[in-house]
Amino acid sequence: MIEELKDKVLSGGHLSEEEAYSLLKMTDKEALYKASGEITRFFCKNKFDMCSIINARSGKCPEDCKWCAQSSHYKTRIEIYDIIDPKECKEQAIQIFKKGVNHLGLVTSGRKVQGKSLTKICNLYRSINENNINASLCASLGLLDRDELSLLKEAGVKRYHCNLETAPSYFASLCSTHTQEEKIKTIHAAQEIGMDVCSGGIIGMGESAEQRVELAITLNRLNIRSIPINILHPIPGTPLAEATPLSSEEILTTIAIFRFVNPKAFLRLAGGRAQLSQNTLEKALRSGINSAIVGDMLTTVGSKVEEDKKLITHCGYSID
């Protein structure tokens, strides 16, 4: 069965929903991981994509996302500041570029960045471009509309990031202040003006295994080619602080199924990966993962870029 589904994908076919969900029933997990690795190498070769983020506005978010340390609804110990100082932003960007990472995104808390704040952000991007004209710039600034996205594109932003976070059937259980439909509207607006889109989610928030597959299918329908897979890092003070961690097998199975459903995408290991053992990390890279966010995350410590490079090359990838 697993070989038949793999061959279907390798020949250019797409799994039906029934076939995608059937992968959850595969008892030979090693065979599943091996097959997803073959799909990765066939469509994506050995190219690995690294990106880094800068927390450009932190805390005081009015949204009530249950996983998030930046929500003003919860008492968490995070640094709070408005739009980052231009000099500090530029210095952080220079340090990231020196480490050989050319994909950089600015990320802000809040429902969206607009008005004078959006103008400030656009100016930050122009300043960053002065130092590295070859940089691929990304933005994660909330639920922007087409006109606001166009301003970012004019400032040099090539990709917009807007996570779906979880399956459509589960999102309302985790957030009540905005809808997934609003997120999809922003994604469509970015695609309509010619921007690439990065969109994925967080696993381990109480969703079912079937809902993880549902998320993978939804991302495929939206034609997303950069998919961050975050693993919940429970934050004290948030409603998910005591969430039960996923097992390594659950994480690796999710990654493998995401690859079967999204064979040509960059599956980007993101937040929460510091919780994984070296063996699990290697298995993730040898099955479906072919990109990662490196360096620190928004409110949690991330990874050291040089250590990531060693792991990436050890698993057979090349880094541009």
Residue 303 pLDDT: 57
Residue 296 pLDDT: 58
- pTM score: 0.94
Kindly give, in sequence order, each residue whose CB lies less than 8 Å from that of residue 104, ignoring residues fewer than 6 positions away: 51, 52, 53, 54, 93, 96, 97, 128, 135, 136, 137, 138
Burial 217-234 (b: 16+ CB within 10 A, else e): bbbbeeebebbbbbbbbb
Kindly give, in sequence order, each residue whose CB lies less than 8 Å from that of residue 5, ignoring residues fewer than 6 positions away: 15, 19, 22, 23, 35, 260
Residue 300 pLDDT: 43
List the pLDDT tens digit at each of the 320 positions of the chain: 899 999 999 999 999 999 999 999 999 999 999 999 999 999 999 999 999 999 999 988 999 999 998 888 988 888 889 999 999 999 999 889 988 898 999 999 999 999 999 999 999 999 998 877 678 999 999 999 999 999 999 999 999 999 999 999 999 999 999 999 999 999 999 999 999 999 999 999 999 999 999 999 999 999 999 999 999 999 999 999 999 999 999 999 999 999 999 999 999 999 888 889 999 999 999 999 999 998 754 444 445 788 889 999 999 998 86
Residue 320 pLDDT: 65
